[in-house]
Amino acid sequence: MDHISLARYFWKNHLKPGDIAVDATCGAGNDTLFLAETCLRDQAGLVYGIDIQKEAIDRTEALISENLPPAHRSRVTLLHMSHAPLPSQLPLANLIVYNLGYLPGSDKSIKTLSPTSIVSLESALKRLLPGGLISVMLYPGHHEGLFEAQTILNWASALSNETYGLSHHYRPNSSKSPSLLIIKYRT
Protein backbone atom coordinates (compact mmCIF):
# COMPACT_ATOMS: atom_id res chain seq x y z
CA MET A 1 0.00 0.00 0.00
CA ASP A 2 1.46 3.45 -0.87
CA HIS A 3 1.76 6.12 1.82
CA ILE A 4 -1.26 8.18 0.74
CA SER A 5 -3.51 5.09 0.67
CA LEU A 6 -2.23 4.15 4.13
CA ALA A 7 -3.11 7.58 5.56
CA ARG A 8 -6.55 7.50 3.94
CA TYR A 9 -7.15 4.02 5.32
CA PHE A 10 -6.73 5.50 8.82
CA TRP A 11 -8.87 8.53 8.03
CA LYS A 12 -11.69 6.47 6.53
CA ASN A 13 -11.74 4.10 9.48
CA HIS A 14 -11.78 6.97 11.93
CA LEU A 15 -14.25 9.47 10.43
CA LYS A 16 -18.01 9.13 10.77
CA PRO A 17 -20.63 11.02 8.74
CA GLY A 18 -21.07 14.46 10.29
CA ASP A 19 -17.55 14.68 11.74
CA ILE A 20 -15.22 17.69 11.59
CA ALA A 21 -11.91 17.37 9.72
CA VAL A 22 -9.06 19.82 9.10
CA ASP A 23 -6.49 19.58 6.30
CA ALA A 24 -3.66 21.80 7.57
CA THR A 25 -1.72 21.58 4.26
CA CYS A 26 -4.39 21.45 1.55
CA GLY A 27 -2.02 21.85 -1.44
CA ALA A 28 -3.72 20.63 -4.63
CA GLY A 29 -6.85 19.75 -2.63
CA ASN A 30 -6.81 15.97 -3.07
CA ASP A 31 -6.80 15.23 0.66
CA THR A 32 -9.35 17.96 1.42
CA LEU A 33 -11.68 16.45 -1.18
CA PHE A 34 -11.18 12.96 0.27
CA LEU A 35 -12.00 14.23 3.78
CA ALA A 36 -15.10 16.04 2.48
CA GLU A 37 -16.34 12.97 0.62
CA THR A 38 -15.81 10.88 3.74
CA CYS A 39 -17.43 12.98 6.46
CA LEU A 40 -19.85 15.48 4.91
CA ARG A 41 -23.58 14.91 4.79
CA ASP A 42 -26.17 17.46 3.62
CA GLN A 43 -26.77 19.04 7.02
CA ALA A 44 -23.80 17.72 8.91
CA GLY A 45 -20.04 17.69 9.03
CA LEU A 46 -17.47 20.41 8.40
CA VAL A 47 -14.14 20.39 6.57
CA TYR A 48 -11.45 23.08 6.77
CA GLY A 49 -8.52 23.37 4.37
CA ILE A 50 -5.54 25.60 5.18
CA ASP A 51 -2.56 26.57 3.03
CA ILE A 52 0.00 29.35 3.06
CA GLN A 53 -0.06 29.52 -0.78
CA LYS A 54 -2.85 31.26 -2.67
CA GLU A 55 -2.26 28.89 -5.59
CA ALA A 56 -3.01 25.93 -3.33
CA ILE A 57 -6.22 27.49 -2.04
CA ASP A 58 -7.34 28.24 -5.63
CA ARG A 59 -6.56 24.67 -6.75
CA THR A 60 -8.42 23.21 -3.77
CA GLU A 61 -11.40 25.48 -4.36
CA ALA A 62 -11.58 24.38 -8.03
CA LEU A 63 -11.37 20.68 -7.10
CA ILE A 64 -14.09 21.06 -4.46
CA SER A 65 -16.39 22.95 -6.87
CA GLU A 66 -15.94 20.35 -9.60
CA ASN A 67 -16.51 17.32 -7.41
CA LEU A 68 -18.86 18.11 -4.53
CA PRO A 69 -22.61 18.79 -4.67
CA PRO A 70 -23.54 22.39 -3.68
CA ALA A 71 -24.90 21.35 -0.27
CA HIS A 72 -21.53 19.84 0.60
CA ARG A 73 -19.42 22.62 -0.94
CA SER A 74 -20.87 25.11 1.53
CA ARG A 75 -19.58 22.96 4.39
CA VAL A 76 -15.95 23.30 3.23
CA THR A 77 -14.04 26.39 4.41
CA LEU A 78 -10.67 27.27 2.87
CA LEU A 79 -8.26 29.50 4.76
CA HIS A 80 -5.31 31.19 3.05
CA MET A 81 -2.94 31.48 5.99
CA SER A 82 -0.13 29.73 7.82
CA HIS A 83 -1.14 26.77 9.96
CA ALA A 84 1.29 27.89 12.66
CA PRO A 85 -0.66 28.13 14.86
CA LEU A 86 -4.02 26.74 13.76
CA PRO A 87 -6.64 29.51 14.04
CA SER A 88 -8.41 29.55 17.38
CA GLN A 89 -11.81 30.00 15.66
CA LEU A 90 -11.60 26.44 14.27
CA PRO A 91 -14.09 24.17 16.02
CA LEU A 92 -12.69 21.19 17.87
CA ALA A 93 -12.06 18.48 15.27
CA ASN A 94 -12.22 14.70 14.99
CA LEU A 95 -9.26 14.61 12.59
CA ILE A 96 -6.44 17.01 11.69
CA VAL A 97 -4.14 15.99 8.85
CA TYR A 98 -0.75 17.20 7.60
CA ASN A 99 0.98 16.21 4.39
CA LEU A 100 4.33 17.95 4.84
CA GLY A 101 6.80 19.28 2.29
CA TYR A 102 6.08 21.31 -0.84
CA LEU A 103 3.32 21.32 -3.40
CA PRO A 104 4.44 19.19 -6.38
CA GLY A 105 4.58 21.25 -9.59
CA SER A 106 4.77 24.51 -7.63
CA ASP A 107 7.40 26.71 -5.92
CA LYS A 108 9.58 24.21 -4.01
CA SER A 109 10.90 26.97 -1.75
CA ILE A 110 7.47 27.21 -0.11
CA LYS A 111 7.49 24.16 2.11
CA THR A 112 6.74 23.16 5.64
CA LEU A 113 9.57 23.79 8.13
CA SER A 114 10.35 22.17 11.47
CA PRO A 115 9.80 25.22 13.74
CA THR A 116 6.42 26.15 12.24
CA SER A 117 5.31 22.52 11.96
CA ILE A 118 5.94 22.08 15.70
CA VAL A 119 4.00 25.28 16.52
CA SER A 120 1.15 24.00 14.37
CA LEU A 121 1.16 20.52 15.92
CA GLU A 122 1.14 22.03 19.43
CA SER A 123 -1.95 24.02 18.46
CA ALA A 124 -3.50 20.93 16.82
CA LEU A 125 -3.34 19.09 20.16
CA LYS A 126 -5.54 21.87 21.60
CA ARG A 127 -8.05 21.68 18.73
CA LEU A 128 -8.75 17.92 18.94
CA LEU A 129 -11.91 16.39 20.34
CA PRO A 130 -11.34 13.52 22.80
CA GLY A 131 -10.81 10.40 20.68
CA GLY A 132 -9.60 12.59 17.80
CA LEU A 133 -6.58 11.90 15.58
CA ILE A 134 -3.70 13.90 14.15
CA SER A 135 -2.17 12.35 11.03
CA VAL A 136 1.25 13.58 9.85
CA MET A 137 2.89 12.41 6.61
CA LEU A 138 6.66 12.82 6.94
CA TYR A 139 9.11 12.93 4.01
CA PRO A 140 12.63 11.94 5.16
CA GLY A 141 13.89 11.40 1.58
CA HIS A 142 15.71 14.76 1.39
CA HIS A 143 17.88 16.66 3.86
CA GLU A 144 15.32 19.18 5.18
CA GLY A 145 12.53 16.62 5.21
CA LEU A 146 14.72 14.26 7.23
CA PHE A 147 15.44 17.00 9.79
CA GLU A 148 11.73 17.90 9.96
CA ALA A 149 10.74 14.24 10.38
CA GLN A 150 13.30 13.71 13.18
CA THR A 151 12.23 16.92 14.95
CA ILE A 152 8.56 15.95 14.83
CA LEU A 153 9.20 12.37 15.97
CA ASN A 154 11.30 13.67 18.90
CA TRP A 155 8.55 16.13 19.82
CA ALA A 156 5.90 13.41 19.61
CA SER A 157 7.89 10.93 21.67
CA ALA A 158 7.80 13.40 24.58
CA LEU A 159 3.98 13.52 24.64
CA SER A 160 2.27 11.92 27.63
CA ASN A 161 1.46 8.27 26.91
CA GLU A 162 -1.50 8.57 29.27
CA THR A 163 -3.08 11.31 27.15
CA TYR A 164 -1.88 10.42 23.63
CA GLY A 165 -1.56 7.10 21.84
CA LEU A 166 1.14 7.18 19.15
CA SER A 167 1.93 4.97 16.20
CA HIS A 168 4.56 5.43 13.49
CA HIS A 169 4.20 3.56 10.19
CA TYR A 170 7.25 3.23 7.94
CA ARG A 171 8.96 0.87 5.52
CA PRO A 172 11.66 -1.01 7.42
CA ASN A 173 13.55 -1.67 4.17
CA SER A 174 13.53 1.94 2.88
CA SER A 175 14.54 4.71 5.30
CA LYS A 176 13.97 7.41 2.64
CA SER A 177 10.32 6.52 2.01
CA PRO A 178 7.53 8.65 3.50
CA SER A 179 6.32 7.60 6.92
CA LEU A 180 3.06 8.23 8.75
CA LEU A 181 2.74 9.43 12.34
CA ILE A 182 -0.65 9.01 14.01
CA ILE A 183 -1.44 10.74 17.32
CA LYS A 184 -4.65 9.77 19.10
CA TYR A 185 -6.10 11.89 21.87
CA ARG A 186 -7.18 9.17 24.27
CA THR A 187 -10.65 9.38 25.78
Ligand X SMILES: C[S@@+](CC[C@H](N)C(=O)[O-])C[C@H]1O[C@@H](n2cnc3c(N)ncnc32)[C@H](O)[C@@H]1O
Decide if residue 50 touches ligand X (CB under 6 A): yes
| DSSP codes joined into one string, 27-45 | TTSHHHHHHHHHH-BTTB-
Decide if residue 138 touches ligand X (CB under 6 A): no
> Taking the complex as a whole, how short is the minimal distance between the CB of residue 90 and ligand X, in angstroms?
13
Nearer to ligand X among residue 22 and residue 128 (C-beta): 22
Per-residue burial over 92-113, b if 16 or more Cβ lie within 10 Å, else e, is: ebbbbbbbbbbbeeeeeeebbe
Among the listed residues 28, 68, 76, 133, the single contact to ligand X using CB under 6 A: 28
Nearer to ligand X among residue 50 and residue 156 (C-beta): 50
Strands (E), the chain: 20-23, 46-51, 76-80, 93-99, 128-138, 164-169, 179-185
Among the listed residues 38, 94, 99, 135, the single contact to ligand X using CB under 6 A: 99
Nearer to ligand X among residue 53 and residue 169 (C-beta): 53
Verify cis geometry, omega within 30 degrees of 0, for the bond prior to 69.
no
> Taking the complex as a whole, how short is the minimal distance between the CB of residue 9 and ligand X, in angstroms?
15
Decide if residue 53 touches ligand X (CB under 6 A): yes
Answer positive or negative: Cα dihedral of 1, 62, 132, 146: positive
Decide if residue 21 touches ligand X (CB under 6 A): no
Decide if residue 31 touches ligand X (CB under 6 A): yes
Distance CA 39, CA 52 (A): 24
The residues of the shown chain that bind ligand X, judged by CB under 6 A, are 25-31, 50-53, 56, 82-84, 99, 101-103, 110-112, 116
